[in-house]
A and B are shown apart, each in its own frame.
Chain A
Amino acid sequence: MSQAKAYADCDVDAPNLHLISHQDAVPAKADYYGLPKASIDPQVCIECDECRQKCRFDAIAYKDIYKVDYFACEGCGVCKLVCPVEAITLLPSIAGELMLYKNEQVFSTAQLKMGSGTSGLLVSRVKKQLRDNSNADFAIIDGSPGIGCPVIASLSGVDTVLIVAEPTLSGISDMERIIKTAKGFGVKIAVCVNKYDTNLEHTKRIERYCLNNGLSYAGRIPFDKNAVLAINNNKTIVDIVCASGIAAKRVYNRVMELLLAG
């Protein structure tokens, strides 16, 4: 709805934004190389067991020969370092795919390859790809869930975060944890409540929490079956006329006020 010239989906292990982004063009794709993976040459290996003992990720096992577990290996290179006979090489490994849609709007997204670990690094690449391909002064980033490395990578360098909370005890616990994480980045924080009418008591609790903690409150979005219907028709909730869409527009306006308040 902001007609943003630049946006990115940083939920690299389950990206969805491309499904409703109205981008008809085929994206430019690029392989994303994560950290390399170790490989042991059984012809050279003298079975000294050094690598297995020193690997902190339990990625090396002995069963007839010494072998690296591709999924457990983090590519740190310790095995190669300790191998007395240079039997180990680190091989490049494709860990995902970066995608860039470039029309009037630039949309950067990626898909982590199944079984790959380095999602934080891929999130940083998605953001870098957006910066390198757009000179827009405003960008929207769809973050990843949780508080760990992909979230930290999503948060870094942003001006304002909008935290979407649910009015459930679980949702409140999650919200408090992401607020503390975001505070560590010194960014402006706004909170909105999604599906607010599913539990008004908890919605009010979240609103009180924001007030008591000096956080900007960006508003309530109701539970709306039209949201599912919109998504299933490849539309966003602001593309159709519905209660959740109208509420989302108000949330957007308040977040923009906060962002521009300097």
Chain B
Amino acid sequence: MRACTMAGKKIAILSGKGGTGKTLIAVNLAAVAEKAAYIDCDVEEPNGRLFLRPTGVKEEQVTVKIPTVNNALCNGCRKCVEFCAFSALAYTNGKLLIFEEICHSCGGCSLLCPQAALSEKDKVIGHIEKGKSGSIDVSTGILNIGEASGIPIISRLLKDSLSGQDSLSFIDCPPGSACIVMESIKDADYCVLVAEPSIFGAHNLNMVYELVKLFNKPFGAVLNKCIEGGNPSEDFCTEKGIKILTKIPFDKELGLLNSNAEIAAKKDIKYNRIFTNLLYNILEEASYQATTNS
């Protein structure tokens, strides 16, 4: 295997919808790679840690800057209210109101306030957990309930986990194709798109396909939960010339292992083979695409 040339490479696993099998694939790939880093960027619903059960977990809080007003200095000029592109400030009944949940922490209001009535304070929006599961480094970002954006957590998580990482890294992305996913794949060397065998699945595959194309990332697809009969996602791959890395059949036993947060590749040699082959295909593809693109 050309794995040696792939040391330090970052593989992102993504899909248009939740429940397609991103975490299943990411944790099992990390398990068969043995020495690896698993990074859970699905900060709204982080699940990989349930499978990998890391020990020696250390927590770090993630904070963002939020404005705070000194009412004694505020003269109600409303310049900050007019400036705020996110409508996170309002001035009513002689008082400046700050809606912390919708603030994007741009810092503009405190920069601009002519009275210097606004300053910034740290606000905790979530935390990062880091631990070990055998030889796998497990990092998880967790967004606090009620917070709108996990992007600062993802950006910090990737910065921390990827710097100096010399083994393969698997980035478990949030579902969809919005800003939070863009942040997660920013540093990825290769993207694995996971799709279900329905027209919904094909449509959602198209979304992430367009995303990775837009960001010029090399990629391939994994068709999960395949059943007999037609597979619109497979048709989509054929039509677009997308490399199919593997097809995982719908399998009650695999589903059951997965529902109990067991790592299938560690429980049964037949699943170990599936994921080892998948890893091999990913590394082959990634190094091939890296050579042809450079």
Bound together: yes
Q: Which of B45, B214, B232, B256 interacts with A115 by CB under 8 Å?
A: B214
Whether B72 sits at the interface, judged by CB under 8 Å, is no
A117 to B177, CA, bound (A): 9
Nearest CB on B from A104, distance (A): 24
Whether A166 sits at the interface, judged by CB under 8 Å, is yes
Assess A14 versus B177: contact at CB under 8 Å? Given A56-B106, A75-B85, A149-B149.
yes
Interface size on A, residues (CB 8 A): 56
Contacts of A112 in B (CB 8 A): 177-178
B176 near A13 (CB under 8 angstroms)?
Answer: yes
A115 near B200 (CB under 8 angstroms)?
Answer: no
Nearest CB on A from B108, distance (A): 4
Assess A119 versus B178: contact at CB under 8 Å? Given A81-B111, A147-B145, A232-B198.
yes
Task: Encode contact with B along A148-175: 1 for CB under 8 Å, 0 otherwise.
Answer: 1111100000000000001111110110
A78 near B204 (CB under 8 angstroms)?
Answer: no
B145 near A177 (CB under 8 angstroms)?
Answer: yes
Q: Is the interface of B mostly helix, strand, loop or mixed?
A: loop
Contacts of A171 in B (CB 8 A): 259
Contacts of A76 in B (CB 8 A): 85-86, 104, 106, 108
Contacts of B252 in A (CB 8 A): 198
A148 to B197, CA, bound (A): 27
B259 near A168 (CB under 8 angstroms)?
Answer: yes
The 5 closest A-B pairs by CB, nearest first: A117-B179, A76-B106, A146-B44, A168-B259, A170-B47
Chain B residues close to A by CB (< 8 Å): 16-19, 23, 44-45, 47, 50, 65, 83, 85-86, 101, 104-108, 111-112, 143, 145-150, 174-182, 197-200, 203-204, 207, 210-211, 214-215, 227, 229-230, 232, 252, 255-256, 258-261
